Amino acid sequence: MTTPQKLDFDRFFSEVSKRRRPCAIRQSVATLAKSSPTIISFGPGMPNPSTFPFESIDVKIKNGSTVKIEGEELAKALQYSKSGGIEELKEWLQKIQKRYHEPPLMNKHSEVEFDLYVSVGSQDGLAQTLDMLLSPGDNILIDDPVFSGTLGFLKPLPIHLIPVETDEFGMKACRLKEIMQTWNIEQESKLPKVIYTIPNCSNPTGATASTERKKEIYKIAQEYDLVIVEDDPYYFLQYGDDIASSYQALDTDGRVLRSDSMSKVLSAGIRLGWVSGAKPFIQKLILNQEVTTQHNSTLIQMIVLKLLEQWKFVGFQNHLTDIKKFYKSQRDAIISSANKWLTGLAEWNVPEGGMFLWLKLFGIDDTKELVQRGIIEKEIVMIPGSAFNVEDNTKSSFCRLSFSLISPENIEEGIQRLSNLVREELHNNNK
């Protein structure tokens, strides 16, 4: 366990976040949620539940049971709610964090209080988190390559993205250390204060950082007073039983903001995620949510809550076991096909979780045109590696293959087509 350091939370807030103030109407909603039944409130402009056309909602679960929402619970599910999430669901999510991460901040002796809020999917939570942390001119340290959706959000902002090289174990601690040690303050460029990383089953590379690698990164974050934004939507898709500790599990200071998601676990369409970490950060995020999305769908929150209450932890864990087994079988299918058809044409690391295979094609400097030809000539769809590069207009000999949706038979056929495409490309290049 690392020695706790006292954090100056105000140092990390963006200028916009510092100016954010509580929304009076949202505060009245929160007050009403915990008020006495005898109170008379003329405050929030909430619609009267008697006008809602819904009488009950039944959701059938695959095990044959039903989640039923009716009466007062349905009225609550169809109404505005607190911006941070309904309390009963937050309590469940707190239990999930405790069981799987045991955050030091949850220790009763911690000087920094732990908290979380429910976001509209993890991407929304990340966008709000980065908005809270970054002001114009700031520098952010970021995995390279990295998820294209993160780049899509960050690149238009008036900030600077500092790429940190990754390998099969994620962000390289030695490269991060080198960047911070050699930062040229004479250029009047602000020292970075934020690290963004996808530590487990990374999109696009599939890399998972070991506990030792995470400890190295966290130590550097302490040394240079950095906040780590831990984007971990694939945490529950790690195939093995020996799962590396999260950054949150190492966080004694409150410098880790962790983003989780139910998208890969329950449903992508429900758009339910949560961000957890030190309470000063979470309270700022809730202020931002008050004036943007207001809150995640109360109905969705209620459905997830009722499901978790019915499942209990044993049911939740059984569900995780089933989905991990499925994705592992998909991984095994694509690795078997790659060994059969791509040996000598490409190299890859075998992912320990997630849904992506990151291929480096031999003899091809940039896969962008090859991927386009693959769609037209071979009817296979891949994503070129350059789509995930932090720096614009850079080449990549990599491509990302997602194996989540394809049947084993089509995986075999698709990899064979890719093999033929690569062989033709190399033959044409050698003419």
Q: In tens digits, what is the pLDDT along the chain, a chain of 431 residues?
A: 567 888 998 888 887 777 766 665 555 555 555 566 777 777 677 888 888 899 999 999 998 999 999 999 999 988 988 889 999 999 999 999 999 999 999 998 999 999 999 999 899 999 999 999 999 999 999 999 999 999 999 999 999 999 999 999 999 999 999 999 999 765 556 899 999 999 999 999 999 999 999 999 999 999 999 999 999 999 999 998 878 889 999 999 999 999 999 999 999 999 999 999 999 999 999 998 888 888 888 999 999 999 999 999 999 999 999 999 999 999 999 999 999 999 999 999 999 999 999 999 999 999 999 999 999 999 999 999 999 999 999 999 999 999 999 999 999 999 999 999 999 999 888 76
CATH number, domain of 371, equals: 3.90.1150.10
CA-CA-CA-CA torsion for 155, 282, 86, 37, nearest 10 degrees?
-140
> Where does 34-138 have alpha helices with state H?
71-77, 87-101, 121-133
Number of folded domains that form the chain = 2
Give the pLDDT confidence score for residue 36 in this predicted structure.
Answer: 67
Does residue 56 lie within any of the structural domains? no
- The two tokens of residue 67 are 């989640």
Do 23 and 142 belong together in one domain?
Answer: yes
Q: Which domain holds residue 403?
A: 320-429
Q: What is the pLDDT of residue 58?
A: 94
Q: Which two tokens stand for residue 43?
A: 């405050």
Q: Is residue 3 part of a domain?
A: no
| pLDDT in the model for residue 311 | 96
CATH code of the domain in which 267 resides:
3.40.640.10
Shared-domain flag, residues 324 and 291: no
Residue 348 sits in the same domain as residue 259: no
- 244/360 same-domain check: no
Q: Assess if residue 59 is contained within a domain.
A: no
pLDDT of residue 362: 97
Quote the CA–CA distance of 124 and 147 in Å, as a whole number.
Answer: 14
Looking at the fold, whether 199 and 283 belong to one and the same domain comes out as yes
Helix-helix angle 173-181:211-223, to 10 degrees:
10
CA gap 418, 343 in Å, rounded: 12
Instruction: Give the residue from 165, 83, 75 showing the smallest Cα distance to 118.
Output: 83
Q: How are beta strands 383-384 and 160-167 bridged, if at all?
A: unpaired
Residue 294 sits in the same domain as residue 324: no
- What integer pLDDT is reported at residue 34 of this predicted model? 59
Q: What is the pLDDT of residue 50?
A: 86
Q: Are both 340 and 224 inside the same structural domain?
A: no
Q: Evaluate whether residue 263 is within a structural domain.
A: yes
Residue 19: the pLDDT is: 73
The whole-model pTM stands at: 0.91
Residue 152 sits in the same domain as residue 183: yes
| Non-local CB neighbours of 329 within 8 Å, separated by 6+ positions | 408
